[in-house]
Structure formats: structure tokens, C-alpha cells
Chain A
Amino acid sequence: MKRALYITLNEVKLYLQDKGDLAFGLLLPIVTFALMYGAFGGQTLFEATAVIVNEDGGNYSTLFVEQLDEVEGIDVELLTATEADAKLERSDLLLALVIPAGFSETLASGNKAELVFKQRGNGGQEGQILASIARSVAEEMNQEFQVRDQVKSNLEGTGIPEDRIDVTVQQFLEEERGQPAVGVVEEVVGGSPDFISQFLPGIVTMYVLFALALSARTIVEERKRGTLERLLTTRLSANELFFGKFLASVAKGFVQTLILLGLSYAVFQLFTPLSFIASLIICLIFAAAAAALGLIIASIARSEDGSVWIAVVFTMVMVMMGGTFFQVSEGSILATVGKASISTYANDALRTVVAEGGSLGDTVWQLVVLAGICVVGLAISRLIFKVLPGSK
């Protein structure tokens, strides 16, 4: 067993000396994470630009534009009616808010004013959200007018000047906005079913599978440099050689996941300490299964190119079948076919923990399958190595 560990240690030393492998193994996960952070990092709030055609130009229309601009994530762009129409015509724009002429005057006279949503089709998803936000801003303005009218009508004949009533009502409404009667408290429970937590498992399992390509080369490289034959004339048994190579491959695959999960934990705060440990255990077992399959390829392949090609094709098939980049619907043909992919079990287990807030206990079935693949894979690779020429 000691000699197996020396094989592992030697493999790790060689790995650290190979700049290409090292870059692939350690830097690529960091780069991937940086891209993920760039795409989904920070607060995932709605951000959009509201295109407004202000045909009114009065006090109240200006107030509406200012209030809309104050909404977090909304930028306001003012266009003329002609510009907006041209953009709508070219589908450069799906929705424009038009404040018709006379808007402020109508409101000042105590009558109801209207906003116009000029849109292509249903205005698009972003347009619909913008329209909804604009409606709530308009609704808030309506309520303010109603309060002001009500107060004025109640104080009619008391001799209090109208502008004083306006100022007092305005102060009251601002205080009310600062301390709303019905507030909203956000309470985070377990993992969040957002974009990152849905896709992170797929990215992690894909990295582990790519590590399989590295482990598939391991025996071929020894053969190529002549050290395999030399090792086979020492006291090292073929079982020790395989176990040593297996441990090294597991370590290589696991380090990549450790980087990705560690960064996700620290930056995206996707995990609780327990779910982080559970995810690491899942990745470790998956890396073991992938390494065992990599050793089967390593035992069969007789050239470096051959081993890498087999591993890459195998990896791509597993990734596609395993629902790495898309959710596979239950009961679909792909879901049935995907059961033949080891990625499916790893993705399911990781999604259970990361996205659904499940525990390791909820993933026992998947972990048993992965552990089984690992044991069978090791036995098959050893058998192939024994049967094919050039072994003990």
C-alpha cells in the first residue's frame, strides 16, 4: 500500500511540473468562476432602461419621470415621439411610455390622467416588467392626489391656505414611504433556486469529467517514457500501480471541484457549512468513479492521442446525456437514456444539495451508484491491463 502512495505522490509531482496540466487543472476553474461571477455576480436585480416620450412637459409628468428614475435598477431615456416610433418600427424597442400632452393640467384640475404604453406585441418580458413598475409609480401618484384631495375637502372652509395643506400632506406622505405600514422582510431558506445553483453542479461535474481525460493518459505516458516497464520489474505490484494512479486521478479531479465550490461558497454564498461538506463528499465520490473509468481507457489505449480522444468523446457523451447544461424533464426519452451517464447521478445529487437544500441522506441512491461504478471500473481496468500485453 505504501508503494501505491508513492506512485500517487510521484504522479502529483509530475502534475505540478507540467505547466499545461497545471493551468488546466487549477487556473481554468478560477477563470470559469470569474466568468460566472461576471455573468451572475453581485445582486441579481432587474435592470432595464425605460424609454419615455414626454409630450406633456409639465410639473406632474416631470415628477413621474423623476419617481420612475428613482426606482432601483431602472434608467430613464427620454425620446421624442418620432424617435420612439422609429425604434418601435425597427423592433429596436418593444415598449415606450408616452405621457400625453395635458397630463399635468388634467391632474391639477382634479381629473384622471392616463399614460400610454406604446408597444410591439406584448412588449417583451422586459417591457412587461417595466410597464408593471410604471403602473405602480403611477398608482402611487394617484394615491397621493387622492389623499391631497381628501384632506383639502375635509379642511374646506377652515381658512388654512391651500399651499400649506400641500406641504403638510407632502411631508406626511414622505414619512409614510420611509416607514410603510406593511413592510417586506427577506428570509433566505437553504439554497436558492437561481441560475448559478442550477448550473453550478453541471459545471463542476464537467470539470471532474475532463479530469478523466488526464487520468486516461496516465498509463500511456508511463508506457511512452519506458517507466511502466521499469516499474513492472520492481517490487511494485500491478494492483499497487493501479491504486496509486487511481488516487492521483481522484486528487486531480477533486482539486478542481474544491476550487470551484470553494469560490462559490465564499463569493456567491450558495452553501451552508453542511451543504458545502455534503457537496465535497459528492464530488469526491464522483471523482473516484470518473478516475476508475479513466483507468479503463488508460488500460485500453496504446497512444496518448488515442487515450485523449476516447476520453474526450466519452466525456462529451456523458455531459450531454447527463443534463449538465439543461434540465432533463422526468419521463422524457433523454431522462431514460441519461441514466447511462455517470454525470446524471452526480448532477442529481449536487442539485439536491445545492439548489433544493437537501442533505447527503437525500442523495444516497446516487452515491451508491457512483461508488458502484468506481469499484466495477477499477476491477475492469485491472482485468484489461492483465489481459492485454505488457503487463504482469
Chain B
Amino acid sequence: MAEEFLVVKDLHKSFNEFKAVNGVSFSIEKGEIFGLLGPNGAGKTTTIRMLSTVLGADSGDATIGGHSIRRDAEAVRRIIGVCPQDLALYEDLSALDNMVFFGRMAGLNGDEARAQAMTNLELMGLEDRARGKVAKFSGGMKRRINLAIALMGNPQLLFLDEPTVGIDPQSRNHIYENILGLQKKGMTILYTTHYMEEADRLCQRVAIMDGGQIITLDTPYKLKSQIGSPEQVTMEDVFLKLTGRSLRD
């Protein structure tokens, strides 16, 4: 049996009367890419914020690499990397400066941070733009830098919160290839996205959230099988069948 690297048990979080996360439980195996899907307001980002120790949970707990997010948040932060939904960059600084800075925050010394920054920039196809100001980068380049920063410090678990929003197919494909490459190196990844074909292509298992709860969790193949022939049914069909067609603005 594969080692469970992330174990979430009955996690709850409310904002005043609104239950954003309502008893979420799941686990992710080491080296797995796990998709967390759901319409807007389903509680995906709140779950990731709690797991990445930014937001405290009301009740329940989760362990990452054996460390509790509630009791040992510091140890958790040593082994995670977060690529947030919105770009989180210092646009006035160069790509290299951004990466070295976050590398140092991740515990690397100056030489290590610079070396790792160059490796990750190369991985993202941005080594030629290392000294360019991020403000002058295209949307796709910024997204790739956003992801590259999350890799600084070689985290064991990577949270990717909609890393491909608003970019062209080329950049998106480049990011997919990188994510699969990271998995091959043994990295565990929790991935949220609104692009269902992404989840189908990348994730070994997906959980679909709605109303703060997980309403289903299985492999993309099995989920598609539940409503028809897996070859003809898409993940989007599964998603719409389970979460409905009403707008969630």
C-alpha cells in the first residue's frame, strides 16, 4: 500500500454563518497528483489555505508528512510549496530576484537559492529572462514564474491552485509537462482547476467539492464510468452532473 503523505480529517471552517468547508476528509498518496475540483465558492481555496497553514481550521485536522497543520505548522511549512491562484510576485523586481528571495524564505542560503532559481527558471523556459523585470513579462511568463517560485526549497508537497488560469495553450502545455516531470521526481501535488480536461490529463484521482463538502472522490476513469462510457463521457459531463448547471457567481 502506498504511503499516505497528506491526510485530511473532518476539516471545518466557517466565516460568520457561512460554512466554507464542512467536514472535508481525504488523503493523498506520496507522489500522487490529486485534483480538487468544484464550482466557485465550493471551498477548494479555503481548504488549501488551511492545509498550507495560512488559515486556522475551526475543527478537524490534517497531517502532511506526519506533521499536524494545527500543532506543528512550522514543520509543515518546511515541506510544502504553494502556487496561489492569483499571481504573488514582486513585479518591480527581476524574475531572479523574486526567486532568490523566496528561496531564502524557504531556508536556502544565497548560493543554493541562486542555483535553484536558475534551475527552475530553465525548467520554465525563462532562463534568458532571469534578469528581466517581472512587470514586463507576459501573462503566461508570470504564471510560470509563479509556479517556479513554489518550487524553491524543493518542497515535498506542492499546492497548485488554478496555476493555468488565463494563459495561452502553449504556456499551459509547458506547465502540464513540468507538473508531470515533478511527479516523476516524486513530488506530491494537490491540484485545483476549473479546466476539467486538465484534471483528466494530470490527476490520478480527483475529488469534487460543492457546498464545502466532497461529493465524490475517485479516479477520472471511474468517475466517467459512473455516467456512461469513459471514452465518450468527459470530466466536464461528470462535473456538471454532480454539481448542477446553476450559476455560482
**Are the CB atoms of B88 and A229 closer together than 8 Å?**
yes
Contacts of B89 in A (CB 8 A): 225-227
- The CA-CA distance from A234 to B52 in the complex, in Å, is 9
Which of A225, A229, A235 is within 8 Å of B106, CB to CB? A235
- Within 8 Å of chain A (Cβ to Cβ): is B80? yes
Output the least CB separation between A190 and chain B (Å).
46
> With an 8 A cutoff between CB atoms, is B84 at the interface?
yes
With A6-B101, A13-B97, A230-B102 already in contact, the answer to whether A235 and B88 are too (CB < 8 A) is: no
Which of A14, A231, A235 has its CB near the most chain B CB atoms (within 10 A)? A235
Bound Cα distance A17, B135 (Å):
12
Q: Considering the chains assembled together, what is the distance between the CA atoms of A226 and B88 in angstroms?
A: 5
Q: Is the CB of B54 within 8 A of A6?
A: no
How far, in angstroms, from A17 to B97 measured CA to CA in the complex? Answer: 13
A102–B77 alpha-carbon span in the complex (Å)? 101
Contact of B54 among A2, A13, A232 (CB under 8 A): A232
Is A233 among interface residues, defined by CB-CB distance under 8 A?
Answer: yes
For residue B227, CB closer than 8 A to chain A, the reply is: no
With A10-B90, A14-B92 in contact, is A234–B106 under 8 Å at CB?
yes
Is B87's CB under 8 angstroms from A226's CB?
Answer: yes
Pair B92/A229 contact, Cβ less than 8 Å = no
Q: Are B78 and A230 in contact (CB under 8 A)?
A: no
Contact present for B105 and A231 (CB under 8 Å): yes
Evaluate contact between B105 and A234: CB separation under 8 angstroms: yes
Inter-chain contact total with CB atoms closer than 8 Å: 66
CB–CB B92/A17 < 8 A: yes
A174 at the interface (CB under 8 A from B): no
8 Å CB contacts to B: which residues of A241-276?
none
Please give, as numbers and ranges, the residues of chain A lying within 8 Å of B88 by CB-CB distance: 225-227, 229-230
Interface residue A3 (Cβ < 8 Å from any Cβ of B): yes
Q: Does B149 contact A (CB under 8 A)?
A: yes
**B93 engages A226 (CB within 8 Å):** no
- Chain A interface size, under 10 / 10 to 19 / 20 to 34 / 35 or more: 20 to 34
Given A226-B87, A227-B88, A229-B54; A3-B105 close (CB under 8 Å): yes
* B101 contacts A10, C-beta separation under 8 Å: yes
Decide if B92 touches A18 in the complex (CB within 8 Å). yes
Chain B proximity of A2: nearest CB distance (Å): 8
Whether a CB of chain B sits under 8 angstroms from the CB of A135 is no
Q: How far is the CB of B97 from chain A (nearest CB, A)?
A: 7
- Docked CA distance A101–B74 (Å): 98
Chain A, 192-235, CB within 8 A of any chain B CB: 225-227, 229-235
**A155 contact set on B, CB distance < 8 A:** none
Write out the residue numbers on chain B whose beta carbons fall within 8 Å of the beta carbon of A3: 104-105
B107 within 8 A of A: yes
Does the CB pair B52–A233 fall under 8 Å? yes
Task: Confirm or deny: A236 has a beta carbon within 8 angstroms of a beta carbon on chain B.
Answer: yes
B53 adjacent to chain A (CB < 8 Å): yes
> When the two chains form their complex, are residues A233 and B54 in contact, meaning their CB atoms are under 8 A apart?
yes
Q: Per-residue 0/1 for B42-58: is the Cβ within 8 Å of any A Cβ (1 yes, 0 no)?
A: 00000001001110000
Which A residues touch B97, using CB under 8 A?
13
Q: A339 near B: Cβ within 8 Å? A: no
Whether A6 pairs with B93 at a CB distance below 8 angstroms is no
Quick check: is B91 within 8 A (CB to CB) of the other chain?
yes
Task: With both chains docked as a complex, state the minimum distance between the C-beta of B22 and any C-beta of chain A, in angstroms.
Answer: 19
On whether the beta carbons of B105 and A235 are closer than 8 Å, the reply is yes
Q: Does A87 contact B (CB under 8 A)?
A: no
Q: Are B73 and A13 in contact (CB under 8 A)?
A: no
Which residue of the partner chain B has the closest CB to A226?
B88
Q: Mark A335-375, 1 if CB is under 8 A from B, else 0.
A: 00000000000000000000000000000000000000000
Q: Which of B84, B91, B107, B153 contacts A230 (CB 8 A)?
A: B84
For B81, B82, B84, B92, which residue has the most chain A Cβ atoms within 10 angstroms?
B92
In the complex formed, the residue of A with least CB distance to B110 is A6
Most buried by A among B87, B90, B91, B105: B105
- Interface: B86 (CB within 8 A): yes
A390 to B55, CA, bound (A): 7
Scan residues 3-18 of chain A and give those whose CB is less than 8 A from a CB of chain B: 3, 6, 10, 13-14, 17-18
**Contact residue among A227, A232, A236 (Cβ-Cβ distance under 8 Å from B90):** A227
Contact in complex: A233, B53 (CB < 8 Å): yes
* Assembled-state Cα–Cα distance A234/B149 (Å): 11
Q: Which residues of B contact A390 (CB under 8 A)?
A: 54
Minimal beta-carbon separation of B64 from chain A (angstroms): 12
Query: Within 8 Å CB of A14, what residues of B?
Result: 90, 92-93
Question: Does A233 contact B77, Cβ atoms closer than 8 Å?
Answer: yes
Q: Is the CB of A235 within 8 A of B74?
A: yes
Query: From A9, which residue of chain B is reached at the shortest CB distance?
Result: B101
B50: min CB distance to chain A, Å: 11
Chain A residues 75 to 97 lying within 8 A of chain B, measured CB to CB, are none
Q: Which residue of B lies closest to A230 (CB)?
A: B88
Q: Which residues in B have their C-beta under 8 angstroms from that of A236? A: 105
Residues of A within 8 A of B153 (CB): 234
* A18 neighbours in B (Cβ, 8 Å): 92
A-B contact pairs, 25 of them (CB 8 A): A2-B104, A3-B105, A6-B105, A10-B90, A14-B90, A14-B92, A225-B87, A225-B89, A229-B49, A229-B54, A229-B84, A229-B88, A230-B149, A232-B53, A233-B54, A233-B77, A233-B81, A233-B82, A234-B77, A234-B102, A234-B105, A234-B106, A234-B153, A235-B107, A237-B74
Contacts from A to B (Cβ < 8 Å) = 2-3, 6, 10, 13-14, 17-18, 225-227, 229-237, 390, 392
Those 9 A-B pairs whose CB atoms lie nearest each other, nearest first? A226-B88, A17-B92, A234-B105, A230-B88, A233-B82, A233-B52, A226-B86, A6-B104, A227-B88
